Amino acid sequence: MATNVEVMRNGTENPLGLLRRFTKRVQGSGVLPRVRGIRYYERTLSHYKTKMKTLESINHRAEVARDIKLGKINPDLPRGRGKR
């Protein structure tokens, strides 16, 4: 799936002009959007995997609720990911 983009330097062309022509040729060939699409592609999860993930989150919520009830977790503190 290699798409080679090649530009040859004209007689009196300076390096910036050559680089500009190369950049335009790469944009026109559509290589970058295809590579970025492949890079960030994620498969859809199967029905079983989705079900297991849902059950995991339900169990986790139940554990947190139980810990709050037992006083192990302060319900007033913010919970979640990252800084606030």
Please tell me the distance from the alpha carbon of residue 63 to that of residue 68, in angstroms, as a whole number.
9
pLDDT of residue 57: 97
pLDDT per residue over 22-61, tens digit each? Answer: 999 988 888 888 888 888 888 899 999 999 999 999 999 9
Q: Say whether pLDDT at 64 is over 70.
A: yes
CA separation, residue 70 to residues 59, 65, 73, 75, 82 (Å): 16, 9, 8, 11, 25
pLDDT of residue 71: 92
Q: Say whether pLDDT at 68 is over 80.
A: yes
DSSP symbol at 11: T
Are 1 and 30 contacting, i.e. CB atoms less than 8 angstroms apart?
Answer: no
Lookup: tokens for 69: 């009830």
